[in-house]
Amino acid sequence: MIAYRIGLLGMRPLTITASRIRPSSLQLRNKADYNKYMESMIGNREMVGYGYNGTPFYADLPAFPFPAIRYKENTPEIMALREKEKGDWRLLSMNEKKELYRSSFCQTFAEFQYVTSDWMFVVGGVLISISAGLCLFLLMHIFVYGPRSLPNSFSYISREAQLQRMIDLQVNPIHGLSSNWDYEKKDWKKVGWFTPPNPFLEDEDEEEEEECDD
């Protein structure tokens, strides 16, 4: 047997009554052997239509609302109800009508197309993970990467001096940092949101201030 159900939102588990897949060990040489094999899989269930692809199996599919076989096997109680339904349906009780429906179908359209609440667990898990990551980030920022814990090379002045030295040494002149620097104008060739500030401008400003003081 195979267990699956296909709804509007994908595949969901449901026990079906016959298999579409033949075992590799079974040799079906002709149609008669195939029919015997399928009869052994579906039992005494009645075949009532073509179904999904002509194979006698049951599944709740919105695109194919009439399965090839009935959901339940024939029992004396169900057979008696089917004989009774050939007459006046006003003589059938509501429970008998429901039993006739459940003998042919496992679920109604509203049931197998119902959207479950599984998405809530997924969203909740994502939010919990994000919250845990933010808490870990804050703890690391306060106790590990705080201003007193970091070395002096992480300060803005040290990083600016390192950038200036990399430009002076022409680091990565082809596709890297120095390739974006104009050595004649002493400025960046293109300025974008990712471009660091010009490290030479502040030095020039400081020299001008010292000259003015003198």
> Does residue 122 register a pLDDT over 90?
yes
Q: Which residues of 134-152 are buried (b: 16+ CB within 10 A; e: fewer)?
A: eeeeeeeeeeeeeeeeeee
Q: Output DSSP code: residue 142.
A: I
44 and 124, same domain (yes or no)? no
> Does residue 131 register a pLDDT over 60?
yes
The total number of structural domains in the chain stands at 3
Distance from C-alpha of 197 to C-alpha of 33, rounded to nearest angstrom: 81
> Does residue 46 register a pLDDT over 70?
yes
136 and 167, same domain (yes or no)? no
105 and 123, same domain (yes or no)? no
Please report which confidence band the pLDDT of residue 121 belongs to, taking 50, 70 and 90 as the band edges: very high
Distance from C-alpha of 97 to C-alpha of 113, rounded to nearest angstrom: 22
Q: Give pLDDT tens digits for 154-187.
A: 888 899 999 999 999 999 999 888 899 999 988 9
What percentage of residues in the chain have a pLDDT greater than 70?
78
96 and 9, same domain (yes or no)? yes
Q: Give pLDDT tens digits for 182-205.
A: 999 889 988 888 888 888 876 555
The residue count of the chain comes to 214
Please report the pLDDT score of residue 4 as a whole number.
38
First and final C-alpha spacing in the chain? 95
Q: Give pLDDT tens digits for 3-31.
A: 333 333 333 434 444 444 444 444 556 67
pTM above 0.85, yes or no: no
51 and 78, same domain (yes or no)? yes
Q: Pick the last residue of a domain from 64, 82, 112.
A: 112
> Does residue 128 register a pLDDT over 60?
yes
> Does residue 132 register a pLDDT over 90?
yes
Please report the pLDDT score of residue 7 as a whole number.
36
Helical packing angle, 76-85 and 94-104, nearest 10° = 110
* Segment 61-73 mean pLDDT: 87
57 and 155, same domain (yes or no)? no
In degrees, rounded to 5, the angle at the alpha carbon of residue 194 between the alpha carbons of residues 193 and 196 is 105
Range of the domain at 7: 3-112
Please report the pLDDT score of residue 23 as a whole number.
47
| Contact between 58 and 68 (Cβ < 8 Å) | yes
* Segment 111-136 mean pLDDT: 92
Distance from C-alpha of 167 to C-alpha of 179, rounded to nearest angstrom: 9
169 and 124, same domain (yes or no)? no
* Segment 96-116 mean pLDDT: 88
